[in-house]
Amino acid sequence: MKCLLLLFAITAFGPVRSTFAETRSAKDMQMECRTAVDVLQKKVEPTFQNTLFAGECIGYVQGAADASMTMADNVKWYKTCIPDSTSTLELIQNFIQFVDRNPKIVLASTAVLTMIAQQYPCKNK
Domain boundaries, the chain: 23-119
How far is it, in rounded angstroms, from Cα 122 to Cα 11? Answer: 44
Per-residue DSSP letter, 107: B
**What number is the average pLDDT over the span 83-91?**
95
Higher pLDDT, 13 or 71: 71
Instruction: Indicate if the alpha-carbon torsion angle 68, 80, 31, 19 is positive or negative.
Output: negative
Statement: residue 110 has pLDDT above 80: yes
What burial class does residue 61 get, using C-beta atoms within 10 Å of its C-beta: 0-12 exposed, 13-18 middle, 19+ buried? buried
Mean pLDDT computed over every residue of the chain? 84
Note the pLDDT tens digit of each residue in 9-51. Answer: 444 444 444 445 567 899 999 999 999 999 999 999 999 999 9
Determine the pLDDT at residue 3. Answer: 39
Q: What percent of the chain stands above pLDDT 90?
A: 66
C-alpha of 96 from chain center: 11
Beta bridge partners of 121: 80
